[in-house]
A and B are shown apart, each in its own frame.
Chain A
Amino acid sequence: MGADPGAPPAADRDTRLAVNGEPLDWREGMTVRDVLQAKNYVFKLLIVTVNGTLVPRGSYDDFVVPAGADVKVVHLISGG
């Protein structure tokens, strides 16, 4: 079985995350809110999954993201 292309390389999994396939430095206790702030994702219509688990919008401040996690932040569309 091939490696998940969204996951960080094995050597980095203790120190990094993958957010929409791009690497991000990880730190102990990092929450979903911290990830969004680090990426400057200020848009509100988001769908966040961490290792495939949906994180409810009300839990962004509390949900702790583990090292090496594959974080997907889906931005919906608005405007126009």
Chain B
Amino acid sequence: MSTSPATDSPTTSTARDYTVRTSYTQGLEEMRAAHKVLLEVPFTPSEPERGYNMRSLHVDLTAMKVTEKKVTQQMKDIFVGGRGFGLWYLWNATTPATRWNDPENEIVIAPGPIAGITQYPGTGKSLVVSISPLTDIPIDCNVGGYYGPLLKFCGFDAIEIQGKAAAEVVVVVDGPRGVIRIEECPLEPPDSHVLSEIFTHMYATGPEDYKNVSVVSAGKGSDHSYIGCLNFSFWDLRRKAARLKQAGRGGVGTVFRDKKLKALVVRGPVIKADLNHVADRARIQKVGSVINKEIHDLDSSQCNMRRQGTAHLVEVMDAYDLLPVKNFQYGNHPDTKNIASWVWDKRFTQGIPDGCWYGCTMSCSKGADGHVVKTGPYKGDVVTVDGPEYENAAGLAANCGIFDPDWLLESNFYCDTYGVDTISFGTLCAFVMECWQRGILNAERTGGLDLTWGNAEAQMEMLHQMARGEGFGVIAGKGIRQMKRIFAENGWGDPKLMNDIGMEVKGLEYSQYQSKESLAQQGGYALTNKGPQHDEAWLIFMDMVNKHLPTFEAKAEALHYFPLFRTWFGLNGLCKLPWNDIEPANNAEQAEPAKVPEHVHNYCEIASGVTGIEVTKEKIIEQSEKVYNFQRIFNLRRGYGKREHDWPPYRSVGPVTVEEYESRAERYDKQMREEIGVDPEGKTTEEKIAITRQYREDRYSKLCDAVYKRRGWTTDGVPTVATLEKLGIALPELVELVKQHGG
């Protein structure tokens, strides 16, 4: 690794000049010379018509074989694209017995039909699907960066990676040359900020071509943990840097590295306004120009995404008692001001475009330039940190009792480059710190790591251990579910307590919102298909603050509509943020403003404009409902997907400990008096915790009943045959499966 400055930069000092950073391209020719071409296959490049190429690419790393597949009309009708295509390919590639590290497990990347247009913000997303090492069920991730759209503009609607290579390889799809190559690549370091830069330089024809190259990579952390993520690069013209966006959840980076994949590279054509060859471009431009004006005129008085990204939420969540502090025990902290949006407003380089796809005026992929790395193998290097976004600030910092922006940048940087999911890492780090607090862990058990709340250096050392495959970091990298088992087997703590405080469902770590005081959000997390990620439903304000969901039926309706509406983004290659992180000036005057009706209308317009098929707001839900139910049945096929798998840890439902109860005693006592009908007077805190728990768990169970009913599932959470028939997905194998489970 070289630490010399970039060629156009005189120094790697602490200056916050956004063009200054350490360069990693020295030795590139030596690395290139060590490559060995294992397979070279010509293909005919093509451009999509109305959003589809009608073909996809299958790569078998075991057999070293590349095959083109037809995309069928049935695939489009039922699965649409993106996540839907990924799930369908994965279903066909695997059996119920396939484990995450079996060769037949796949990584599928599919952008969706709308992906790649440039007239509307947030339209460059790729969807990644695989069997997760954490959950043993399908995981799906929605990620920015250029890989998916460029792949599509080379001529493929999806890429399936199956099998395992014998040595480290890179799979290169070169559209302009019409060739696919698999190359052995022994010398490049796997860490993403290094590898993305090297491969961008190696596979572009020159500096003018860097923007047409995207690299997908993981990192050393993915080699030794179950929480590996994938980094999708996009070339930042102003910074002259390969920026990174994360397909974060569920260990997709772990699967990637297990296949001995060092990287996927795509080189596409120069992006033009209509490579998607849409049915009605004017229709898209019309709504695109309206929302772009909204963002221009209103963002600074609304969410300020263009200056702060999602980091604007840090102090908001703190103010509403929703910021996870110390493993979700508490919801706010006096030191939140140190990691709040005003800090990032200054740290982020302002005034340059930060979109992760062309034409995105929301431009929220903020970068903190000039960070001098403090620890580990890149100590002393000057790097650009992609973020922090809200999830990173909340998870890596507040949830671990760390309120220092420099340490947050450090952990954010290393999680990214090591290919480690910041959300899972933040939540599991919070868990082990609470285990330390409660004596479940100590220095002897952690190999000397002092996991006291707020110990940022110990957090970093645990992450470096994870990347080196050493010590306690390896245990932590297995995720909370495995840690609970290991700790219990070692007799280190009470399994019941660990189950209560270990914030995972289905094996996936929670993302960073407090759901204790919102029953709807408890369901919004635990009733998800893939595990507790907020991208299905974020209902806390509607439920807890607005009090718009007073009944089980109202909550169930929200837990029907919002997960389906948001699933649709993943079918089409869209970002969720321009839906409701900007709102039209007259949104307040609309019926159902929480749905942002004008933007829903926009999505109908762009979907219709791309495909030529009329998409209504009802059809959006209908399209999603097919795929959502299919994914539930996929879980069922793998031995999950039932009521027992939707049960949350009690920490997400109510107060586990005396300290937690007493921190909100007024709220809990009031609820006991007014809702439960029990006088808290004279009761011990332990007694009040037990009474509250019984009440809240009973309500969660009733919520499940209402949601399953609304979704057309049995009381055990199984889609019924009648539901499959209504949705037009009564495929024989699905019907047979649900029947076996009482559906």
Instruction: Point out which of A41, A57, A74 has the most chain B C-beta atoms below 10 A from its C-beta.
Output: A74
Count contacts on B: residues with CB < 8 A to the other chain: 31
Cβ < 8 Å to B, chain A residues 55-80: 57, 72-80
Query: Which residues from chain B contact A47 at a C-beta distance below 8 Å?
Result: 587-588, 593
* A74-B594, A78-B303, A78-B581 known; A42-B545 Cβ under 8 A: no
Nearest-Cβ distance from residue A51 to partner chain B, whole angstroms:
16
B301 lies within 8 A of chain A by Cβ: yes
Question: Which of B10-18, B155-163, B311-319, B733-741 is near enough to bind chain A?
Answer: B311-319
- Report whether B320 and A43 are in contact in the complex, using a CB–CB cutoff of 8 Å: yes
- Report whether A79 and B538 are in contact in the complex, using a CB–CB cutoff of 8 Å: yes
Nearest-Cβ distance from residue A36 to partner chain B, whole angstroms:
11
Cβ-neighbour of A74 out of B538, B577, B593 (below 8 A): B593
Q: Mark B577-612, 1 if CB is under 8 A from A, else 0.
A: 100110100011100011010000000000000000
Count contacts on A: residues with CB < 8 A to the other chain: 20
Nearest-Cβ distance from residue A73 to partner chain B, whole angstroms:
8
Query: Which residues from chain A contact B576 at a C-beta distance below 8 Å?
Result: 80
* A20-B547, A43-B316, A45-B303 known; A80-B535 Cβ under 8 A: yes
Q: Mark A1-44, 1 if CB is under 8 A from B, else 0.
A: 00000000000000000001100000000000000000011111
- Report whether A20 and B546 are in contact in the complex, using a CB–CB cutoff of 8 Å: yes
- Report whether B588 and A54 are in contact in the complex, using a CB–CB cutoff of 8 Å: yes
Nearest-Cβ distance from residue B117 to partner chain A, whole angstroms:
22
Q: Mark B505-539, 1 if CB is under 8 A from A, else 0.
A: 00000000000000000000000000000110011
Query: Which residues from chain B contact A41 at a C-beta distance below 8 Å?
Result: 319, 545
B310 lies within 8 A of chain A by Cβ: yes
Query: Which residues from chain B contact A78 at a C-beta distance below 8 Å?
Result: 303, 313, 580-581
* A20-B547, A45-B583, A54-B589 known; A77-B542 Cβ under 8 A: yes
Instruction: Point out which of A44, A72, A76 has the most chain B C-beta atoms below 10 A from its C-beta.
Output: A76
B617 lies within 8 A of chain A by Cβ: no
Query: Which residues from chain A contact B548 at a C-beta distance below 8 Å?
Result: 74
- Report whether A79 and B546 are in contact in the complex, using a CB–CB cutoff of 8 Å: no
- Report whether A74 and B546 are in contact in the complex, using a CB–CB cutoff of 8 Å: yes
B390 lies within 8 A of chain A by Cβ: yes
- Report whether B545 and A75 are in contact in the complex, using a CB–CB cutoff of 8 Å: yes
B302 lies within 8 A of chain A by Cβ: yes
Query: Which residues from chain B contact A72 at a C-beta distance below 8 Å?
Result: 546
* A21-B547, A80-B310 known; A42-B316 Cβ under 8 A: yes
Residue of A nearest to B533 (CB): A80
- Report whether A77 and B589 are in contact in the complex, using a CB–CB cutoff of 8 Å: no
Query: Which residues from chain A contact B320 at a C-beta distance below 8 Å?
Result: 40, 43
A20 and B545 CA atoms in complex are apart in Å by 7
Query: Which residues from chain B contact A75 at a C-beta distance below 8 Å?
Result: 541-542, 545-546
Query: Which residues from chain A contact B577 at a C-beta distance below 8 Å?
Result: 80
* A42-B316, A43-B316, A44-B303 known; A77-B545 Cβ under 8 A: no
Query: Which residues from chain A contact B588 at a C-beta distance below 8 Å?
Result: 47, 54
Instruction: Point out which of A45, A72, A78 has the most chain B C-beta atoms below 10 A from its C-beta.
Output: A78
Residue of B nearest to A55 (CB): B588
Residue of B nearest to A42 (CB): B319
Residue of A nearest to B511 (CB): A80
A1 and B179 CA atoms in complex are apart in Å by 75
Nearest-Cβ distance from residue B199 to partner chain A, whole angstroms:
30
- Report whether A44 and B315 are in contact in the complex, using a CB–CB cutoff of 8 Å: no
* A20-B547, A80-B576 known; A43-B541 Cβ under 8 A: yes
A21 and B587 CA atoms in complex are apart in Å by 23
Residue of A nearest to B594 (CB): A76
- Report whether B541 and A77 are in contact in the complex, using a CB–CB cutoff of 8 Å: yes
- Report whether A44 and B301 are in contact in the complex, using a CB–CB cutoff of 8 Å: yes
Nearest-Cβ distance from residue A39 to partner chain B, whole angstroms:
9
Cβ-neighbour of A76 out of B313, B534, B535, B583 (below 8 A): B583
A78 and B551 CA atoms in complex are apart in Å by 23
- Report whether B319 and A76 are in contact in the complex, using a CB–CB cutoff of 8 Å: no
Residue of B nearest to A80 (CB): B534
- Report whether A79 and B310 are in contact in the complex, using a CB–CB cutoff of 8 Å: yes
A40 and B539 CA atoms in complex are apart in Å by 19
Query: Which residues from chain B contact A57 at a C-beta distance below 8 Å?
Result: 301
Query: Which residues from chain B contact A54 at a C-beta distance below 8 Å?
Result: 588-589
Query: Which residues from chain A contact B319 at a C-beta distance below 8 Å?
Result: 40-43
Instruction: Point out which of A40, A41, A43, A80 has the most chain B C-beta atoms below 10 A from its C-beta.
Output: A80
- Report whether A76 and B580 are in contact in the complex, using a CB–CB cutoff of 8 Å: yes
A42 and B594 CA atoms in complex are apart in Å by 18
Query: Which residues from chain B contact A79 at a C-beta distance below 8 Å?
Result: 310, 313, 390, 534, 538, 581
Cβ < 8 Å to A, chain B residues 255-296: none
Residue of B nearest to A56 (CB): B588
Instruction: Point out which of B313, B390, B547, B588 has the most chain A C-beta atoms below 10 A from its C-beta.
Output: B588
Nearest-Cβ distance from residue B292 to partner chain A, whole angstroms:
18
Query: Which residues from chain A contact B541 at a C-beta distance below 8 Å?
Result: 43, 75-77
* A44-B302, A54-B588 known; A76-B547 Cβ under 8 A: no
Nearest-Cβ distance from residue A24 to partner chain B, whole angstroms:
14
Residue of A nearest to B593 (CB): A47
A76 and B541 CA atoms in complex are apart in Å by 7
- Report whether B303 and A42 are in contact in the complex, using a CB–CB cutoff of 8 Å: no
Query: Which residues from chain B contact A43 at a C-beta distance below 8 Å?
Result: 316, 319-320, 541
A9 and B545 CA atoms in complex are apart in Å by 21
Query: Which residues from chain A contact B316 at a C-beta distance below 8 Å?
Result: 42-43
Query: Which residues from chain A contact B303 at a C-beta distance below 8 Å?
Result: 44-45, 78
Nearest-Cβ distance from residue B165 to partner chain A, whole angstroms:
35
- Report whether A76 and B545 are in contact in the complex, using a CB–CB cutoff of 8 Å: no
Nearest-Cβ distance from residue B559 to partner chain A, whole angstroms:
14
Residue of A nearest to B390 (CB): A79
Query: Which residues from chain A contact B547 at a C-beta distance below 8 Å?
Result: 20-21
A36 and B131 CA atoms in complex are apart in Å by 46
Query: Which residues from chain A contact B580 at a C-beta distance below 8 Å?
Result: 45, 76-78
* A20-B546, A42-B319, A44-B301 known; A77-B594 Cβ under 8 A: yes
A79 and B535 CA atoms in complex are apart in Å by 9
A40 and B310 CA atoms in complex are apart in Å by 20
Nearest-Cβ distance from residue B398 to partner chain A, whole angstroms:
15
Query: Which residues from chain B contact A20 at a C-beta distance below 8 Å?
Result: 545-547
- Report whether B593 and A76 are in contact in the complex, using a CB–CB cutoff of 8 Å: yes
Q: Mark B665-683, 1 if CB is under 8 A from A, else 0.
A: 0000000000000000000
A80 and B315 CA atoms in complex are apart in Å by 15
Query: Which residues from chain B contact A21 at a C-beta distance below 8 Å?
Result: 547
Instruction: Point out which of B319, B546, B581, B596 has the most chain A C-beta atoms below 10 A from its C-beta.
Output: B546
Nearest-Cβ distance from residue B73 to partner chain A, whole angstroms:
33
Write the residues of chain B forming the contact surface with A, with a CB cutoff of 8 angstroms.
Answer: 301-303, 310, 313, 315-316, 319-320, 390, 534-535, 538-539, 541-542, 545-548, 576-577, 580-581, 583, 587-589, 593-594, 596
28 contacts between A and B (CB under 8 A): A20-B546, A20-B547, A21-B547, A40-B319, A41-B319, A42-B315, A42-B316, A43-B316, A44-B303, A45-B580, A47-B587, A47-B588, A47-B593, A73-B545, A73-B546, A74-B593, A75-B542, A76-B580, A76-B587, A77-B594, A78-B581, A79-B313, A79-B390, A79-B534, A79-B538, A80-B310, A80-B538, A80-B576
**Besides A47-B588, A74-B594, A75-B546, 13 other A-B contacts (C-beta < 8 A):** A20-B545, A43-B320, A45-B583, A54-B589, A72-B546, A75-B542, A76-B587, A77-B539, A77-B542, A78-B303, A78-B313, A80-B310, A80-B538
